Amino acid sequence: MSDDPSVAIVRPTPESDAELAFEGALRPKSLAEFVGQAKVRAQLQLLLEAARIQNRTPDHILLAGPPGLGKTTLAMIVAQESGRPLRMSSGPAIQHAGDLAAVLSSLVPGEILFIDEIHRMARSAEEMLYLAMEDFRIDIMVGKGAGATSIPLDLAPFTLVGATTRSGMLPNPLRDRFGFTAHLEFYSEPELEQVLSRAALLLDLPIDRAALAEIAGRCRGTPRIANRLLRRVRDYALVHGDEAGLGAVQAALELYDVDQLGLDRLDRAVMEIILTRFDGGPVGLNTLAVSVGEEAETIESVVEPFLVRIGLITRTPRGRVATRLAWRHFGLSQSNGALFGDDL
């Protein structure tokens, strides 16, 4: 499915290397430039300021939240704002305790170590990290079997910034060692308009308020998707020699099959199966996946969370059920409406 741009366009994960480069150019560089997440910004500011006054490394920070809401961006901002060097690594790159030992032992004093997708780190490395975070020390095992000994190694003081889209998958001892956990929330439409107008300025793209508001309403509360849609609108305006106005937004997003709510073709296919073939459900995950020709995993982790979040479906022990809002949004009426209580 990722081969089809109209299917991938509202997915919250990066589309390609080209998109990553584009994102890099649009990343806010300071807390003041970072839009929204007011609470998290204030909390981070306080934490960094306190560390500065006491001239010590800031507490370890965990950034938790869905893809595309600004975790990597905030990690870079933490380094920038505290004037410290940043070392970047990620859970999947740390498959053995030795991988982590190599990173930790080469840190310079006061460095910020960013570990993206920290929930995907090897278990043996997690255990090494506990001691490192608490005491800036690790034990390195030398030799094997009965003759193995552990050699303690002191580390330079550092600040760990971990990012995770699945904070529930982190073991408690690891979660407890972060001095502060920031939970990122989806963005409101006015905030997304701000993200977009900042991006448009950086892209040198003249665009009006109505166009920005239209994109903001269709990007699933996610700055990454907002910026991606903006790019498609820019293409559209460029090719058609048009202004980036409301008309261009509507035409571009229609071309890419993104509807008023930010649903794409796969989302709509799933809704259509539940509503028309199963008369609103309940439908089991596997049946649903087979019906739309997708992996159950894709439906569960990519499609459903958003449908649940905007209240089009609910998950019940017997399967997925369409809500009244879903019937209304798709302009359909239920043939056996009495089946589902008023609470849906």
Ligand X SMILES: Nc1ncnc2c1ncn2[C@@H]1O[C@H](COP(=O)(O)OP(=O)(O)OP(=O)(O)O)[C@@H](O)[C@H]1O
Known binding-site residues equal: 26-27, 68, 71-73, 134-136, 177, 187, 224, 315, 320
**Min. distance of Cβ 215 from ligand X in angstroms?**
13
Of positions 12, 28, 63, 72, contacts Mg ion by CB under 5 A: 72
DSSP state of 100: H
**Binding residue count for Mg ion, defined by CB under 5 A:** 2
Catalytic, 39? Answer no
- Residue 306 binds what, of ligand X, Mg ion, none (CB under 5 to 8 Å, by partner type)? none
**Min. distance of Cβ 114 from Mg ion in angstroms?**
9
Residues at the binding site for Mg(2+) are 72
Report d(CA 115, CA 162) in Å as an integer. Answer: 5
Report d(CA 140, CA 21) in Å as an integer. Answer: 37
Among the residue ranges 43-51, 63-71, 305-313, 336-344, the one whose residues contact Mg ion (CB under 5 A): 63-71
Catalytic choice (11, 84, 220, 224): 224
Catalytic, 149? Answer no
Report d(CA 313, CA 308) in Å as an integer. Answer: 5
- Cβ(289)–Cβ(296) below 8 Å: yes
Give the other-Cβ count within 10 Å of 61's Cβ: 24
Q: Tell me which residues in 59-88 interact with ligand X (CB under 6 A).
A: 67-73
Q: Which residues, at least 6 apart from 3, have a Cβ–Cβ distance to it below 8 Å?
A: none
Task: Return the number of the residue (36 or 282) whose C-beta is nearest ligand X.
Answer: 36
The CA-based diameter of the chain, rounded to the nearest angstrom, is 75
Among the residue ranges 33-41, 65-73, 118-126, 216-224, the one whose residues contact Mg ion (CB under 5 A): 65-73
- Residue 89 binds what, of Mg ion, ligand X, none (CB under 5 to 8 Å, by partner type)? none
46 is written with which tokens?
């306080």
Closest CA to 113 of 155, 85, 73: 85
Task: Return the number of the residue (71 or 119) whose C-beta is nearest Mg ion.
Answer: 71
Closest CA to 125 of 103, 156, 153: 103
**Min. distance of Cβ 285 from Mg ion in angstroms?**
27
Catalytic choice (57, 72, 159, 181): 72
Q: Tell me which residues in 163-182 interact with ligand X (CB under 6 A).
A: 165
Of positions 223, 280, 281, 282, contacts ligand X by CB under 6 A: 223
Among the residue ranges 135-143, 219-227, 258-266, 282-290, the one whose residues contact ligand X (CB under 6 A): 219-227
Helix (H) or strand (E) holding 150: strand 149-154
**Min. distance of Cβ 44 from ligand X in angstroms?**
12
Task: Return the number of the residue (117 or 294) whose C-beta is nearest Mg ion.
Answer: 117
Report d(CA 120, CA 162) in Å as an integer. Answer: 11
Q: Which residues, at least 6 apart from 342, have a Cβ–Cβ distance to it below 8 Å?
A: none
Q: How many residues are recorded in the chain?
A: 344
186 is written with which tokens?
């989806």
Task: Return the number of the residue (37 or 72) whose C-beta is nearest Mg ion.
Answer: 72
**Min. distance of Cβ 24 from Mg ion in angstroms?**
11
Q: Tell me which residues in 179-208 interact with ligand X (CB under 6 A).
A: 195
**Min. distance of Cβ 284 from ligand X in angstroms?**
29
Give the other-Cβ count within 10 Å of 200's Cβ: 21
Closest CA to 73 of 12, 117, 43, 29: 29
Catalytic, 17? Answer no
Report d(CA 205, CA 203) in Å as an integer. Answer: 5
Q: Which residues, at least 6 apart from 217, have a Cβ–Cβ distance to it below 8 Å?
A: 189, 260, 262
Task: Return the number of the residue (72 or 222) whose C-beta is nearest Mg ion.
Answer: 72
Contacting residues toward Mg ion, per CB under 5 A:
71-72
* Residues annotated catalytic, as ranges: 71-72, 116, 165, 224
Contacting residues toward ligand X, per CB under 6 A:
13, 23, 26-28, 34-37, 67-73, 165, 195, 223-224, 227
